[in-house]
C-alpha cells in the first residue's frame, strides 16, 4: 500500500510547479487527487495524465484569491469524491514590492492569494472533516522568506508570515479533532513560476538557474519533486503526531552567519 492509499487529496494551486509535483507524488502513493488553479489547459492536462496512469483525478477551475471560489472548489471535490482527507495549499503570488513602493492593490493581491485563499480552503476542508468526525491532514506551502526575506518581497512576506501563524493557530485549535496541520518554509526552488519571476523582475537569462546554483551551499536549487515527497510524508500517517510545525525546507540556516 502507498502512503496515501484510499485518501482524497485536494491540491490548491496544483496545475504546475510544486503543486503539480505534489499531485503526482500523491497519486503515486495511492491517492485520489483533485487540483485547482486558474489555467484550465494545465489543469485538464494534469488530470488527464493522472487518470491515464490509473489514478482517479479531477481539475477544478478556481481563482483562489476569491474566498467563495476557494470554498467552492472544496465543495466540488466533496461532491465528486465524498470527502477531503488531505489538503495542500500551494498557490502563491511572488510579484515584487518594497515597503515604500507597494500599492494597496498589490498588497491586497498578496493577501488574497497567499493568505485569504488558504484560510477559506482550510475552513471548508476542516468543516468536512469535523462533519464526518474523521481525522485529516493539511500542509501549507509557505516560504523561508517569512522569517524576514528580501526588501523587495514586503507584501509577499507579510502574507506568508500570516500563513505561518495561521498554520500554528489552526493546528492548535483542531489537534483534539485529530486534524494535523503543518507548513513548509521552502527555499529557492526551480519552478515554472520562478522562471517567469526571474525573467520578469530581474532580467534573468536562460542560464539563471546555473548561475543561482553556483551561489548555493548544495550547488543546486530545490526541486519540486523533492518538496512533494516531503509533503506526502507530512500528509501521511508516517509523520505520526506532528502538528503545528512550520518546517524550514531550505539549505540556508536561520540565524547562521558567515
| Residues labelled catalytic | 156
Which helix (H) or strand (E) segment is 86 a member of? strand 86-89
Report residue 123 as a C-alpha cell: 475552513
- At residue 35, the 3 state secondary structure works out as strand
For 195-226, give one letter per residue: b (16+ CB within 10 A) or e.
eebbeeeeebeeebbeebeeeeeeebbbebeb
* End-to-end C-alpha distance for the chain, whole angstroms: 45
Sign of CA dihedral 93, 244, 121, 49: positive
Contact 232, 3 (CB under 8 A): yes
222: which residues sit within 8 A by CB, 6+ positions away? 186, 187, 188, 189, 190, 249, 250, 251
Per-residue CA distances from 246 to 117, 208, 216 (Å): 18, 29, 22
Amino acid at each position: 500500500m502507498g502512503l496515501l492509499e484510499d485518501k482524497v487529496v485536494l491540491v490548491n494551486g496544483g496545475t504546475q510547479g510544486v503543486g503539480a509535483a505534489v499531485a503526482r507524488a500523491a497519486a503515486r502513493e495511492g491517492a485520489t487527487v483533485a487540483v485547482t488553479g486558474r489555467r484550465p489547459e494545465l489543469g485538464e492536462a494534469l488530470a488527464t495524465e493522472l487518470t491515464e496512469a490509473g489514478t482517479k483525478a479531477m481539475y477544478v477551475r478556481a481563482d483562489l484569491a476569491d474566498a467563495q471560489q476557494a470554498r467552492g472548489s472544496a465543495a466540488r471535490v466533496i461532491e465528486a469524491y465524498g470527502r477531503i482527507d488531505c489538503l495542500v495549499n500551494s498557490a502563491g503570488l511572488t510579484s515584487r514590492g518594497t515597503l515604500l513602493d507597494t500599492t494597496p492593490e498589490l498588497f491586497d493581491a498578496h493577501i488574497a492569494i497567499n493568505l485569504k485563499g488558504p484560510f477559506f480552503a482550510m475552513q471548508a476542508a476542516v468543516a468536512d472533516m469535523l462533519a464526518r468526525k474523521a481525522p485529516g491532514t493539511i500542509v501549507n506551502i509557505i516560504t523561508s522568506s517569512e522569517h524576514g526575506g528580501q526588501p523587495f518581497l514586503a507584501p509577499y512576506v507579510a502574507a506568508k508570515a500570516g500563513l505561518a501563524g495561521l498554520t500554528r493557530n489552526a493546528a492548535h485549535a483542531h489537534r483534539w479533532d485529530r486534524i494535523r496541520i503543518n507548513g513548509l518554509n521552502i527555499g529557492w526552488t526551480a519552478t515554472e513560476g520562478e522562471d517567469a519571476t526571474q525573467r520578469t523582475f530581474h532580467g534573468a537569462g536562460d542560464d539563471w538557474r546555473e548561475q543561482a546554483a553556483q551561489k548555493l551551499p548544495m550547488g543546486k536549487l530545490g526541486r519540486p519533486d523533492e518538496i512533494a515527497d516531503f509533503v506526502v510524508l507530512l500528509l501521511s500517517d508516517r509523520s505520526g503526531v506532528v502538528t503545528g510545525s512550520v518546517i524550514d525546507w531550505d539549505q540556508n540556516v536561520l540565524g547562521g552567519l558567515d
